[in-house]
Amino acid sequence: MPIKILLQTTIVPTENDWHIGRFSMLRDYLAGLPMFDVTARDRGPVGQPDPVLSSLHTSDYDELWLFAVDVGDGLTAEDCDGIARFRKRGGGVLITRDHMDLGCSICAIPGIGAAHYFHSKQPDPDSTRLKIDDADTVEISWPNYHSGANGDYQEIQVVGAPHAVLSGPVGYLPAHPHEGGVGAPPGDASARVIAAGRSKVSGARFNIAVAFEPSAGSGPAIAQSTFHHFADYNWDVAKGAPSFVTERPGNAMQKSPEARSSTERYVQNVALWLGGRPTA
């Protein structure tokens, strides 16, 4: 049976924003593989429980990829409860966000929400990291790790024993000028950092992905530093971006079949692992 995947944002359909249509290349890539059945949608009206997320635990989805692109109001208490109950019944979850406070509504999701660090809410417990990395975009503060221009790629570093989602191996992911912060929540033995990057501005190493191993009562999960690893604009800048994106892009992803192949392999690996299937 195909793995049923829900790709969802935390905003209502908004043309000049990171709506689900801006993740079409991810959707099409996964949907083009016979082992996946993909649904892609934006959330329902803000301030009301999302009809899908709030009842996710009663659905027949196998996994959720949540792109937290809101400014703090993207999830209701009912949505967070539905996601938590979905994971408790064994569902796989990937949750990703971006710089500063973008997507901070995910802090209220039990377990995996604690892996995401923001500026005004749930900051990184390492106080040495509470500083600006990307200083070019002055309106964006920490966490904002500069892994490269949109449209370029970054070389990732495997942390600890190579995780199944990095098999292939996976050596590259799309770059972004200001990635967010993630880390393994203290006291959660199921979680560990599996991949890191390095700032092209400061040289600082930062976490890219945290994996939560499945355990009794909890499905597998991934906390990812930025949704730009999955966005059309970062795979191919010709796809365009919202008008508020003003940084000068690159085009190294388009010129490197190896980087594109590595990114697609990572996406496939994550989808398989979250669905309880082997990645090799």
Evaluate if residue 280 carries a pLDDT over 80.
no
Evaluate if residue 144 carries a pLDDT over 80.
yes
Cα–Cα distance, 247 to 146 (Å, whole number): 12
Average pLDDT score, the chain: 97
Average pLDDT over residues 250-273: 97
Range of the domain at 187: 3-274
Average pLDDT over residues 106-123: 97
217: left (phi over 0), alpha (psi -120 to 50) or beta: left
> Is residue 158 in a domain?
yes
Evaluate if residue 89 carries a pLDDT over 80.
yes
> Is residue 280 in a domain?
no
Look at residue 106 in the predicted model and tell me its pLDDT. Answer: 98
User: What's phi and psi for 95, nearest 5 deg?
Assistant: -125, 130
Predicted model pTM: 0.98
Cα–Cα distance, 98 to 226 (Å, whole number): 4
Domain count, the chain: 1
Find all residues with CB under 8 Å of 18, minimum gap 6, and list them: 9, 11, 67, 69, 227, 231, 242
> Is residue 43 in a domain?
yes
Look at residue 216 in the predicted model and tell me its pLDDT. Answer: 77
pLDDT in tens, 192-234: 999 999 999 999 999 999 999 998 779 999 999 999 999 999 9
Residue by residue, DSSP assigns 78-100 as HHHHHHHHHHHTT-EEEEE--ST
135 within 8 A of 201, measured Cβ to Cβ: yes
Residue with tokens 């692109």: 69
> Is residue 107 in a domain?
yes
> Is residue 279 in a domain?
no
Domain at 196, CATH number: 3.40.50.880
Query: If pLDDT is split at 50, 70 and 90, which confidence band does 74 have?
Result: very high
Closest CA to 209 of 150, 142, 136, 263: 263
pLDDT in tens, 57-69: 999 999 999 999 9
% of residues, the chain, pLDDT over 90: 98
The residue type found at 79 is D
Query: If pLDDT is split at 50, 70 and 90, which confidence band does 131 have?
Result: very high
pLDDT in tens, 150-196: 999 999 999 999 999 999 999 999 999 999 999 999 989 999 999 99
Average pLDDT over residues 144-154: 98
Look at residue 217 in the predicted model and tell me its pLDDT. Answer: 78
